[in-house]
Amino acid sequence: MGISIWQLLIILAIVLVLFGAKRLKNVGSDLGGAIKNFKNSVKESESEDKATDSKLESKEDDNVFDVKAEEKVAQKKEDTK
């Protein structure tokens, strides 16, 4: 006991009369653009997460404090020259 094709056509006709074809076209294109932008944002977010994860994995072997200390020692040596 679903909706028949005639019932769908009547609903479509009522919607067209209430909103107009141009307005429905704009709503459809706006909705499609929003979905497209959302998908692009999700893809960018995933790629940024993967890039951050790979950077963190490569730095796990290096001790951040040691690197900073070495940079300070090198800078002091340059300053004393």
pLDDT in tens, 48-74: 877 777 766 665 555 556 666 777 888
On whether the pTM is more than 0.75, the answer is no
Residue-wise pLDDT tens digits, 13-45: 998 888 887 888 888 889 999 999 999 998 888
DSSP for 17-70, please give it: HHH-HHHHHHHHHHHHHHHHHHHHHHHHHHHHHHHHHHHHHHHSSS-HHHHHHH
pLDDT value of residue 66: 65
